[in-house]
Amino acid sequence: MCESLDELEMDDYWKEVENITRSVGEAGRGEGGGEGEVQEEEQHKIPEEGEQEEAWLAEAGLTRLFDDTLAADQDQEEDSAVFLSTLTRTQAAAVERRVTTVQQTLLRRRNRQHVPDVRDIFRPPEKDEEPSKFEKGSENGQKEVTSAETETELNLEVAFSEQALSYRDNHQRLKVTTGPNSPDDKLPNFKLLRDKTGQTRIGDLSPLDMKKVRRLVLVEMTALFDTAGIDLKAHKAVKVKSKESGLFGVPLATLLDQDQRRAPGTKVPIIMQRLISHIEEEGLNTEGLLRIPGAATRIKSLCQELESSFYDGMFPWQQLKQHDAASLLKLFIRELPHPLLTVEYLSAFIAVNKLPTKKQQLQALNLLVLLLPEHNRDTLKALVEFFQRVIDHQAKNKMTLNNVSVVMAPNIFMFKGFRSKVTEQQEFSMATSTANIVRLLIRYQNLLWTIPKFIVTQVRQHNMESQRKQNKERAVRKLLKKITTEKPSDKAVPEESSQGFIRVQAPQFSKVSMAVHLTEELQAADVLTRFLSQDSPVAVKQEELYLYEIGGNIKERCLDGETYMKDLFHLNPSAEWVIKAVQ
């Protein structure tokens, strides 16, 4: 089957839309469509001028930049300053643009005098003679992008927005015109530029650092869209009335709360897991799996039956037909009171299509996945993993990447009531673009659920900068107290680095620490092997053990087995290295 996504193949999309419409008509849920629409209206309220930017700055933790009543809070002020100091030029420009808008609005609205001037926040670059490590990196990146055609090479060390900017500049200068949606729909195999300090997957960092990641990613995503001149209309999430319990039409958070009380640690709704595993148990070779709908009349009663007997374990799974299960799965996604991709970012996901290159689309998706709340991110991951397993059987079930994407797109993007707001013309263009997003999400899932290195680098800079400030304070206090205590650990660091080894700790083992010689080839996995070859922990499974980087310029990071220890050691020389079970 041809890999291109032409209009002919969109037939399935419209068929799916028809099925959905029919299922709403026939199996229409108790509340009725009318109310759903009213709720949507509220969900999609587009904020006033300036309000959107205010919300954006608040989300990035930069409220202080426009609200001087908060300026008295020293901690927050310092935090903002530290955060800003880690931004690249393009990221800073994105922040600046929004601060300016908010200030203009504020001035117009209240005619207030004491709003901080944008020039005070973004002083002209003083330290240009002494570019930071990061800026050097971006310059390297620019050269790289210019010199070679690296469309399929993924550079994770340079901020995506900086890469996009130099791409744009080159293309303007060279007067190269590229259609916004190139006809070539072949998805390339993106090659990752090897990062010796290891890949950081979502979940590898501590919640504290993840908060910083989120702020940075928000700024970076906006900066990336800014380079393409795309204005993201953020939608504010308004609380909607929704069911407090049950399975269908229940908010993801409520559902998971309910599931976690039954099975602690649940990350993906049990009902969804169960539907997926039922479909798989019936065999993934079934032709037209996910595409062929179940019987709409049966779905309604099955739905009610699940609501009443799922948690009791009384639901007759053995009688559930595979296509009905697939329809229930799709219904479950559609019925979520908030879209799986969230009200806030749904339009940003769709706007990804407007980015000029596949690479930039992929990078934007990467950032958007990072911005999703954990529940949504984990649930989406479980879905795309399942879709991939379906696609793996395409020789038998004829469900190619395109087929699955086309069929699933309306279910993921057209949640309850959304369609009523969309004109026919909009819907037509949305069909191809949403299918494309689902395609990218499935195809590149392994790349998308990771934190790009430049973001981790910025988190490290943030941590170092705040530590430096804290240490300064502490030093002053220490001086005042005149405490002179000799700390042996102060000496240990330079000594160890000059000796060329690291000390690996494993508190739950009988061998609690081991000094390991740092060679060029030593990887995190080797360290684990060395430790485990000599010690057999009683209560822990070996697969659950990982080497962690703790302290120094990162709170905590679970290391990818292929991390080169020497390279990472140079990046974070005062870190501790600890073997422990994954949380």
Partner 1 sequence: MSAEEERFKLVVVGGGGVGKSALTIQFIQSYFVSDYDPTIEDSYTKICTVDGKETRLDILDTAGQEEFGAMREQYMRSGEGFLLVFALNDRGSYHEVQKFHTQVLRVKDRDDFPIVLVGNKADLEQQRVISREDAQAFASDNGIHYMESSAKNRYNVDESFLELVKIIRRFQEMESTPPAAHHTGKQKSGGCPCVLL
By CB under 8 A, name the binding residues for partner 1: 488, 491, 495, 499, 501, 503, 510-517, 534-536
Nearer residue to partner 1 within complex by CB, 22 or 517: 517
Q: Which is nearer to partner 1, 245 or 536 (CB)?
A: 536
Closest among 179, 171, 91 to 135, alpha carbons compared: 91
- Strand blocks (E) in 208-353: none
User: What are the residues facing 503 on neighbouring strands?
Assistant: 515
Burial class (CB in 10 A: 0-12, 13-18, 19+), 32: exposed
Q: How many CA atoms lie within 13 A of 547 on its CB side?
A: 30
Q: Are the C-beta atoms of residues 289 and 390 closer than 8 Å to each other? A: yes
Q: In this structure, which amino acid lies at residue 482?
A: K
Nearer to partner 1, 37 or 526 (CB): 526
* Shortest Å distance, C-beta 403 to partner 1: 54
In the complex with partner 1, which residue's Cβ is closer, 94 or 578?
Answer: 578
Minimum Å gap between C-beta 581 and partner 1 is 18
**Cβ neighbours of residue 254 under 8 Å, at least 6 residues apart?**
242, 243, 244, 245
> Smallest distance from the beta carbon of 568 to partner 1, in angstroms?
18
According to DSSP, residue 61 is labeled: T
Q: Is the distance from CB of 209 to CB of 86 less than 8 angstroms? A: no
In the numeric block, which tokens belong to residue 373? 């709340």
With H, G, I as helix, E, B as strand and everything else as coil, classify residue 550: strand
Q: How far is the CB of 579 from partner 1 (least distance, A)?
A: 13
Shortest distance, CB of residue 577 to partner 1, whole angstroms?
Answer: 13
CB atoms within 10 A of CB 561: 15
Nearer to partner 1, 170 or 499 (CB): 499
In the bound state with partner 1, the residue whose beta carbon lies nearer, of 37 and 496, is: 496
Can you read off the two tokens belonging to residue 515?
A: 């000094």
Minimum distance of partner 1 from residue 539's CB (angstroms): 16
Residue 273 or 513: the one with the smaller Cβ distance to partner 1 is: 513
Q: Which residues contact 306 (CB under 8 A, 6 or more apart)?
A: 247, 248, 271, 315, 328
Q: How far is the CB of 472 from partner 1 (least distance, A)?
A: 29
Nearer residue to partner 1 within complex by CB, 320 or 514: 514
Question: Can you tell me the distance from the alpha carbon of 59 to that of 439, in angstroms, rounded to the nearest whole number?
Answer: 29
Residue 347 and residue 355: Cα distance in Å, rounded? 13
- Name the minimum Å distance from CB 506 to partner 1: 10
**Number of residues in the chain:** 583
